[in-house]
A and B are shown apart, each in its own frame.
Chain A
Amino acid sequence: MAVPLFSLQLRHSIIPRLVTIGKYDGSHYCVTAATSENKILIHSPHKPEKDISYLNINQKITALLAGKAIPNDEKDILVVGTVGSVLAYNVDLNSDLFYKEIPDGVAAISIGKLSSMKDPAIIIGGNCSIQAFDYKGNEILWTVTGDNVRSIIVMDVDLDGSNEILVGSDDYEIREFKDDIIVNEISETSSICSLIHFSPGRFAYALDNGTVGVYDKFRRVWRVKSKSSVNFLEKYDLDGDGKEELITGWSNGKVDARNSITGEVIFRDVLSTSIAGIVVGDYRRAGKCQMIVISTTGEVRGYDNTSLKVESGVQTNVVHDLLQKRQILMAELNNYTKASHEGHGIPGDTRLITEVSVSEETIDPCVLLKLSTNNSMILKAVTIFAEGIFEDETQVIHPKRDNVSSELNISLIPPKDILLDIHIRAFVGSSVDIDQFHVFELTRQLPKFSMYLLVNYPENEDVLQSYVKFRLVERVQRLDLWLSQNFIVPQTTPVKSDGQHFWKIAIKSLRDSSLTCITFEKEMMSIFSENINLTADIIQSLASYLNLDQIDSLAEFPKVLDDLWRNMQTVKTLQQNSIKLNTSIADSSTLLKNLIVQAEDFRLLNDVFNMEKCLNEIYLIDKQMIQNHQVTCENHEQLLATLKKINTIIQNASRIRVNNNKTEIITTYRQAVASENMTILKKLIESGNK
């Protein structure tokens, strides 16, 4: 067990993740945390008499970060994100830098210099959107992303000397934004709840399912998974070797430090309750920083390299490990001798055959993975490991004793259209009764659009009104190759083609059995689909496969436009509702304040009768306010959902063409949505410019 350098109690319950540290006066570190009463607690150890001060926020705090945002100023400012606003606040001067309403909510905050900007920017991520402000509150960037943002960092990933934004979101993706263009995407297996950067070009991530790992550029170096979930990531050089370790705070109260290159644990400690946050700052005024761990009950512990003592128990550990290893090896040896004696082995030429197909016959249409052996050997059990398909990454198929045979069908339903690696381990044996099996390991790849079935091209083509068309100079053979790489193509391909100028396919989605037709005729590519998301995915996939830098497409999506218009109207009414509800709540709360003061007045005058009257009234208004609040909450949730829909539509619409000035287009979209200019929106979706 590690020995903390210092420990103290804040005597407040702290909300997990909402912990930061700042030098608000430019020289003294202050731990800052959000408490459960929607207040922010600032602990200043340099003021022994009044070491704790509070900030009232009055809204649910969702993100908190301190950092330097004013150019040429040593003082840190505090950025507070709530469900409906962001506040940049100068703690030292007790004054706002700016306050902005953010209807999308603020889920993550980062401060840093973006590539093209001179001064640091405050970047916030919310409901499908990313915004950046300068320290005066001017908006300098707005863009959309696939899903709710959970974490944002600013770092130089590709080592080109300027910073990019890394965004982890609820759709399991880590996206790299250069200014506001998505440069890179990494798919993970769960929501990305935390990101932290190491230099150079290395960053660590944590997922909701308890995974922690490190990427070097876009290659995963290592990862570990735990049952409890990660609450906080931080970096700190604990062993004093000049390299920073990854410090992880877990929900079960554990803190550990791992080598950022190998993932090896070098330090471990346990607090009595869940970790709320870990920060690094000089809290002892020792001239160098300590690592400060804060638990949800307000326990604070500080560590530095003196806490990391070489434990005397290490040697016994090694002996224990070696003994365990010996025991395993002995058991294995035992098994082999037994098997050779009894003759239960399998023939040497046994092979495992896999076959991937798309099936509509099963109850839920799905991708069918068929496993079989080439002889009569049976498949006792199969474990399948694939990221993002199953709830816990791995599925074990274990047929009932009577149903065990040499063939096994496994249905897979990938939730998203991404390239997937499936690792299969099959237990193969000669009969059900024996307890020794051979393990076959193999890996198969599921193509990107595996959840789509190639069907025969429909006779009447004019079924769909929504389409995308663009010019494409390419040979048909290349399209065939693209098809075979990205789809599960059955042996008899239903591709209608003359091999030269003419190429037609139709695909059917297994998710909603909608039909999409892709035709290539006279150097003209057309995609007919109701699903704008799928269309966008296909175009992006084509563009990357055929190395196209520019696709200027013509599009027609009447349903999407209708949808957009409807959503915009809903947002308008919802926003009006929320204004009305807010005023009525404010009105009642003033009334409540009056009544409380009056009741107190009557109490001082010993006028019990009137006091009772006042208190009764307070009770009634209170009840009414609670009802009002519920309505407000519902209204807000609807608003969020609708805004998310609009953001998604904008993102998809910008993805149905490929070019370099996506930024500009997204900005125009936003302006058009704000001014409800349907004609511009229509033109934007149809042709990509005003």
Chain B
Amino acid sequence: MVDNNVILLVDPFYAACIHLRKHNYDKCIECCTGILLKNPYDQATWALKMRALTEQLSIDDIEAEEEGIADSYFNSDAIAENARIGTSLRSTPNSCNQRPRTIDGRPLSGIVRPSTSSAGGNNLQKALKTPRTVGSSRPLTSQLARNIRLGTASMVSQMDGPFINISRLNFSKYASDKQLSKLLFNYIYYQQNDIRNALDFAVEATKCCFFEDPWWKVQLGKCYVMLGLLRDGESQFRSALQHGPNIEVFLRLSRLFVRLDQPLSSLDICQQALSWFPNEVTLLIEMARIFEGLNNISMSVKYYRDILELDATDMESIACIGLHHFYSDQPEVALRYYRRLLQLGLYNAELFNNLGLCSFYAQQFDVVTACFENALRLALDYNAAEIWYNISHIAIGFGDLDIAEHSLHLTLSLNSSHGAALNNLAVLQWRKNDVARAESLLNSAIAAEDHLYEPHYNKALLAQEEGDHQTSYVMLKKSLEIYPNHYNSRDILNKLKKYFSSL
């Protein structure tokens, strides 16, 4: 009987291994804890548990990299403060205002990525205010970015204190153990997110293998980048590349130069990497993103097209090309791309919203309502405002101003600092001859998003009508500051100048 039981029970260590392979981390940890209770010195189990704990939380930190508010505001890594336009991700070119901007003032992208939300870091007050009002989740600093927020969940599960007490670890002993050292490092880096100790550990470990293991060099570089010592990180990555090309290292190096605000160096590195790994999609995506950040949309779309040739299911590329077609007045083509996304199984409010807009502009009015109904059905608080805003657009297009006004009110109820909605509402009020309300709405639009030129222009028009030439002049100046080639603003400004000189 006893013997049978033994046979029936799987060896707990084997069970733990199987659980890990099945990504059944909780069970794996449970098994390991059981074994460790019996024999606390079982190194294999210890390592396995460490691995399970790490993998539970490890994230793709190349993709999830995000610059926090503090980093972008106190950024002093970028060398050039005001570099030539087209060589920096910070200086947004404002000459070609084709695309609307995000709430932070960056041109809209086809896909929401962690780094697309980062602003130029010009105004701390605004940067702090934005996430609170919009509910976009921008972390304070990169070190405490997504990694730690995803990581906090684990603390609850470890009821009897932390699994490994890092401060009491003998670094030099474990660093010399080639089997354990890498697992332990990953545990410290990903699970504990204790970058300083991870760095100390990596320094010990790389010494133990006589500075010849590129893996440790990459880890050192990662730690340095996390700590903000970008130049040290660069030298580690470059020295890792001496051992042989590696896509991950190239990508990290490229990201590092994006943080140094040297996009052209990044592109250079990607080109170099492409010579080793031709047609590598991750590298092409990186390049397409950098071009988009530089507002070089044609190059960006070219790379996205190349990606689609290689990987026809890449959603980011489809979305970005679709967006490009939409804003270059080809809604029919854009519609095809968005339908492709729908075919790929994407089913969310944003997609239906875009489909609705495209079909409206492509004059397929029959599906517009259905699309927006679907969008509203799927919408959550954070994106419903935009959908209502778009519905207001459609309503204006159909000539139903009442629905438009209602939609805009709904937008504002969901997001009170939606500058474009405020502006449009003001115009509608003005049409109803409610000038006082229109003016106050325009003022709040300017206060909410000062990178839009439309509220300034509208206010100038309003002031002009009321005979307040001085305000009109000031507002036109501001409008032209944001969009120097705005024809109408220029026109009125010239008229005003003529009028002033005739006085």
Query: Which A residues have a C-beta under 8 Å from some C-beta of B?
Result: 39, 50, 53-58, 85, 87, 89, 91-96, 99, 101, 576, 579-580, 582-584, 586-587, 589-590, 593-594, 596-598, 600-601, 604
> Beyond A95-B268, A590-B228, A600-B128, is A50–B70 a contact (Cβ under 8 Å)?
no
Give the residues in chain B near A604, CB-CB below 8 Å: 125, 128-129
Q: Is B262 part of the contact surface with A, judged by Cβ < 8 Å?
A: yes
Chain B, 14-35, CB within 8 A of any chain A CB:
none
A95-B231 in contact given A50-B82, A594-B70 (Cβ < 8 Å)? no
B268 lies within 8 A of A584 (CB) = no
Contact A579 B203 (CB under 8 A): yes
B74 contacts the other chain (CB 8 A): yes
A532 CB, nearest partner CB in chain B, Å: 31
Most chain B beta carbons < 10 A, residue from A54, A589, A590, A598: A590
Give Cα A580 to B80, complex, Å: 29
Given A58-B76, A586-B229, answer yes or no on A94-B196 (Cβ-Cβ < 8 Å). Answer: no
Proximity string of chain B (247-290) to chain A, C-beta cutoff 8 Å, 1 when within and 0 when not: 00000000001001111110010000000000000000000000
Bound-state Cα–Cα, A288 to B440, Å = 58
The 3 closest A-B pairs by CB, nearest first: A94-B87, A593-B70, A95-B265
Q: In the complex the two chains form, is A597's CB within 8 Å of B69's CB?
A: yes
Q: How far is the CB of A626 from chain B (nearest CB, A)?
A: 18
Indicate if B124 sits at the interface (CB-CB under 8 A).
Answer: yes
Query: Which A residues lie within 8 Å of B140 (CB)?
Result: 594, 597-598
Residues of chain B whose beta carbon lies under 8 Å from any beta carbon of chain A:
69-71, 73-74, 76-84, 87-88, 124-125, 128-129, 140-141, 143-144, 195-196, 199-200, 203, 227-229, 231-232, 234-235, 257, 260-265, 268
Q: Which residues of B contact A54 (CB under 8 A)?
A: 80-82
Known contacts being A586-B228, A590-B141, A590-B227, is A94 close to B80, with CB within 8 Å?
A: yes
A56-B232 contact, Cβ under 8 Å, with A584-B196, A593-B71:
no
Bound CA–CA A289/B57 (angstroms): 63
**A101 to B76 Cα, complex, angstroms:** 19
- Which of A96, A576, A594, A600 touches B141 (beta carbons < 8 Å)? A594
Contact call A56/B125, Cβ cutoff below 8 A: no
In whole angstroms, what is the CA distance A584 to B78 when docked?
Answer: 22
CA distance A87 to B78 in the complex (A): 13
- Contact of B199 (CB < 8 Å), options: A57, A583, A598, A600: A583
Contact B229 A56 (CB under 8 A): no
Assembled-state Cα–Cα distance A593/B216 (Å): 28
- CB of B296, distance to nearest CB on chain A (Å): 14
**CB of B348, distance to nearest CB on chain A (Å):** 32
Give complex CA distance A600, B77 in Å: 22
A491 and B228 alpha carbons, distance in the complex (Å): 71
Give A596 to B125 CA distance when docked, in angstroms.
12
A-B contacts, 8 of them at CB < 8 A, read: A53-B82, A91-B80, A94-B84, A586-B229, A596-B74, A600-B125, A601-B128, A604-B129
> Which B-chain residue is minimally distant from A90 (CB atoms)?
B264
Given A85-B231, A95-B262, decide whether A56 and B81 contact each other with a Cβ distance below 8 A: yes
- With both chains docked as a complex, state the minimum distance between the C-beta of B273 and any C-beta of chain A, in angstroms: 16
Which of B82, B88, B129 has the most chain A CB atoms inside 10 A of its CB? B82
- A92 contacts B84, C-beta separation under 8 Å: yes
Question: A583 to B80, Cβ gap below 8 A?
Answer: no
Q: Are A96 and B124 neighbours in the complex by a CB distance under 8 Å?
A: no
Contact of B70 among A94, A101, A576, A596 (CB under 8 A): A596
Min CB distance, A620 to chain B, in Å?
18
State whether A597 and B73 are in contact (beta carbons under 8 Å apart), knowing that A94-B83, A582-B232 are contacts in the complex: yes
Q: Do A587 and B81 touch (CB < 8 A)?
A: no
For residue A268, give the distance in angstroms from its CB to the closest CB of chain B: 38
A593 to B228, CA, bound (A): 11
* Alpha-carbon gap, A55 to B79, bound state (A): 5
Chain B residues contacting A91 (CB-CB under 8 Å) are: 80
Q: Shortest distance in angstroms between A395's beta carbon and chain B's nearest beta carbon? A: 50
> Are A99 and B264 interface neighbours, CB within 8 A?
no
* Interchain CA distance A597-B124 in the complex, whole Å: 8
B128, B195, B265: the one contacting A96 at CB < 8 Å is: B265
Give the interface centre of A89, A93, A580, A589 by most chain B CB atoms within 10 Å. Answer: A93
A586 contact set on B, CB distance < 8 A = 227-229
Q: How far is the CA of A39 from the CA of B78 in the complex (A)?
A: 12
Known: A94-B262, A604-B129. A101 touches B227 (CB 8 A): no
- Chain A nearest CB, measured from B477 CB (Å): 15
The docked-state distance in angstroms from the alpha carbon of A250 to that of B290 is 48
Nearest CB of chain B from residue A579's CB, rounded to whole Å: 6
Known: A594-B70, A597-B70. A94 touches B79 (CB 8 A): yes
Smallest distance from the beta carbon of B65 to chain A beta carbons, Å?
A: 15
A670 CA / B420 CA spacing, docked (Å): 65
B69: A residues at CB distance < 8 A: 597
Given contacts A99-B231, A583-B227, A589-B228, contact A94 B88 (CB under 8 A): yes
Query: Are A57 and B79 interface neighbours, CB within 8 A?
Result: yes
